[in-house]
């Protein structure tokens, strides 16, 4: 086993918005295949592909109708095979999204399950009788608004849905359901994928007694908690003790891992969103029979607020205190505001410097790293008007939140062409902001100082120093927006320092280190040996070891 995923940089592709080869306004698998040379040029190790399965697209692919079919919107299984072969030809691994906690209500499993209470799949979903007064069985809430229960006349019962009413939760306690889901994973492993990103992996099982979740006694919308800001949505008003993260959930995770281990060099990483993100991530990665890695929302909700240097240090202290396994980290993905728009830096040049520094910081952390498409371009969050919104979560919460469409707009490939080179269609599935054209790939290709070329350069430079990929991490300084960490192997110790703020920082430690150059971040060592870091600057050095 090569454990290729340790220290890997994985590029997330949201297929609807990457590149449209067929000209209908929505990205597709052939479009991804066409752009694989671009992906490989970034210096990443692999790709995480968001859902492409057959789906009614109520939640844009996270409502699966058929786990072993490609949605015609994206292409065919043959297109998938061609894409996978081309990625492997370019030295890229491919992990695919697996959505196993729920399906679409159009899935044949659910269609059979809802017919009556006696059919072979009657117990494949979470069905519960009403209370005597006809109300739902408990107070559980849906993430997308409203109660987590929908009444079905055919069965005279409620079914659970943690997300949309059209996304019924599977009863993963049922061994038959587990076996069916394992068959899905085996189908794609046999096809040659290199692993899975498990969507909401701590949602698979729920409290058998259906106990009420306790309320948050100090609920405050807008308050930062575990990496995310609480919303007015009723879901955020509860402590989610009984509707997810049940201890027995790990038994199914272990079955998935055992299956994955039947194949060479495969990995499983999962998204964990919980009341205690770090603790749950640690539990799900502990030992050698669960997840290979897990990530949470601690950095996905980071806004560069005061105390950020201390936050990074404390994240790792907390994680290691729980004795977890290998972590994973991301600043951006398809569910959160883009990192380029989080932090309140209005000056474009300063924000570009910040974007570069954050890419270097993220890829210097201990763990597997995910970059979201467009992050390498420094794309900001798009302002999508209400009449153009597609995201059901955004439509429900508007105007308190515009949801997730702003981070999902199509990639601008050229600055001047129709639809910024993304599609030849008259209209794209989400609008492309005019200001994104200024960040188009074609424009950045010719600018040595662009975020795109910095990303390419830095990821290549990083691979020269194995400590930055797989070394142990320690924090030397975390104060006043100055973060200095070390990555250590038996052969070397690399020091990495970052200015997270907009004022210059000085550090009188240069005599202890041999400064490394050509990393691309701004830094100066003055005549007195003092390291001077401008706003959002950074440095790398080798620690001098005594003989």
- Asked if omega into 286 is within 30° of 0 (cis), the reply is no
Give the list of residues 6+ apart from residue 448 with CB closer than 8 angstroms, or none.
none
d(CA 70, CA 439): 31
For every residue of 384-432, DSSP letters joined together read --GGG---HHHHHHTTT--TTGGG-SPP---SSSGGGGS-SSSS-SSPP
Q: Are 483 and 508 in contact (CB under 8 A)?
A: no
The two structure tokens encoding residue 31: 């479009």
Exposed e or buried b per residue across 466-478, where buried means at least 16 C-beta atoms within 10 angstroms of its C-beta: ebbbebebebbeb
Catalytic residue among 20, 59, 71, 199: 199
Single out the residue of 453, 519, 476, 534 nearest to residue 43, CA to CA.
453
Q: Is 248 an annotated catalytic residue?
A: no
Which tokens sit at 155? 């069965």
Sheet order of strands, 505-507 included: 505-507, 531-533, 524-525
Q: Where is 180: in which H helix or E strand? A: helix 175-191
Angle at 100 between CA 291 and CA 151, to 5 degrees: 140
In angstroms, rounded to a whole number, what is the distance separating the alpha carbons of residues 247 and 197?
Answer: 20
Closest CA to 379 of 298, 328, 272, 455: 455
Active site residue 116: no
Q: Tell me if 409 sits within 8 A of 384, measured CB to CB.
A: yes
Closest to 492 measured CA to CA, from 524, 464, 521, 523 = 464
Burial of 208 (0-12, 13-18, 19+ CB in 10 A): exposed
- Phi, psi at 170, each rounded to 5°: -70, 150
The rounded distance, in Å, linking the Cα atoms of 394 and 402 is 5
Which runs of consecutive H residues, i.e. helices, occur in 91-143? 108-113
Residue 242 neighbours by CB under 8 Å, 6+ apart: 138, 140, 206, 207, 209, 210, 211, 212, 213
Closest to 100 (Cα-Cα) out of 204, 250, 206, 253 = 204
Task: Considering the candidates 218, 262, 264, 490, report the single residue annotated as catalytic.
Answer: 262
- CA nearest neighbour of 398 among 409, 412, 408, 384: 384
φ and ψ at residue 209, rounded to 5 degrees: -85, -5
Q: For residue 304, is it left (φ>0), alpha (ψ between -120 and 50) or beta?
A: left
Structure tokens at 435: 């200001």
Task: List the beta bridge partners of residue 315.
Answer: none
Catalytically annotated residues = 199, 262
């Amino acid at each position: 086993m090569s454990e290729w995923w340790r220290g890997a940089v994985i590029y997330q592709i949201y297929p609807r918005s990457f590149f449209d080869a067929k000209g209908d306004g929505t990205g597709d698998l052939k479009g991804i295949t066409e752009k694989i040379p671009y992906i490989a040029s970034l210096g990443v190790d692999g790709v995480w592909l968001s859902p492409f399965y057959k789906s009614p697209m109520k939640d844009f692919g996270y409502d699966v109708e058929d786990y072993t079919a490609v949605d015609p919107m994206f292409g065919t299984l043959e297109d998938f095979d061609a894409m996978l072969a081309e990625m492997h030809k370019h030295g890229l691994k491919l992990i695919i999204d697996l959505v196993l906690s729920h399906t679409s209500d159009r899935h044949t499993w659910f269609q059979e399950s809802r017919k009556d209470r006696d059919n072979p799949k009657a117990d494949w979903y979470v069905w519960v009788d009403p209370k005597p007064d006809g109300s739902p069985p408990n107070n559980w809430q849906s993430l997308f608004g409203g109660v987590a229960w929908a009444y079905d006349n055919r069965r005279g019962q409620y079914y659970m849905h943690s997300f949309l009413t059209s996304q019924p939760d599977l009863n993963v306690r049922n061994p038959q359901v587990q076996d069916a889901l394992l068959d899905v994973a085996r189908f794609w492993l046999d096809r040659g994928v290199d692993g899975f990103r498990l969507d909401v992996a701590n949602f698979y099982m729920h409290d058998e007694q259906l106990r009420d979740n306790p309320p948050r006694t100090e609920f405050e919308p807008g308050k930062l908690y575990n990496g995310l800001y609480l919303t007015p949505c009723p879901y955020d008003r509860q402590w989610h003790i009984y509707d997810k993260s049940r201890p027995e959930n790990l038994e199914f995770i272990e079955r998935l891992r055992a299956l994955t281990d039947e194949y060479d060099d495969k990995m499983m990483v999962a998204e964990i969103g919980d009341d205690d993100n770090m603790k749950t991530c640690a539990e799900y990665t502990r030992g050698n029979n669960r997840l290979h890695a897990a990530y949470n929302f601690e950095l996905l909700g980071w806004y560069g607020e005061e105390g950020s240097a201390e936050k990074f240090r404390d994240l790792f202290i907390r994680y290691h205190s729980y004795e977890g396994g290998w972590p994973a980290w991301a600043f951006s993905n398809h569910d959160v505001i883009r990192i380029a728009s989080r932090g309140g830096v209005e000056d474009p040049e300063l924000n570009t410097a910040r974007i570069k520094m954050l890419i270097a910081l993220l890829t210097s952390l201990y763990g597997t790293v995910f970059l979201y498409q467009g992050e390498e371009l420094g794309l900001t969050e798009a302002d999508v008007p209400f009449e153009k919104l597609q995201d059901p979560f955004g439509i429900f919460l508007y105007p308190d939140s515009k949801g997730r469409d702003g981070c999902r707009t199509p990639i601008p490939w050229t600055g001047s062409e129709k639809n910024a080179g993304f599609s030849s269609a008259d209209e794209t599935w989400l609008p492309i902001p005019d200001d994104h054209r200024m960040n188009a790939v074609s424009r950045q290709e010719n600018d040595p100082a662009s975020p795109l070329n910095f990303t390419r350069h830095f990821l290549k430079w990083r691979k020269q120093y194995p400590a930055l990929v797989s070394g142990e991490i320690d924090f030397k300084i975390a104060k006043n927006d100055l973060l200095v960490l070390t990555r250590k192997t038996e052969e070397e110790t690399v020091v990495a320092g970052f200015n997270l703020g907009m004022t210059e920082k000085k550090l009188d430690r240069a005599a202890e280190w041999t400064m490394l150059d050509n990393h691309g971040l701004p830094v100066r060592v003055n005549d007195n040996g003092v390291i001077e870091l401008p706003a959002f600057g950074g440095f790398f050095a080798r620690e001098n070891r005594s003989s």
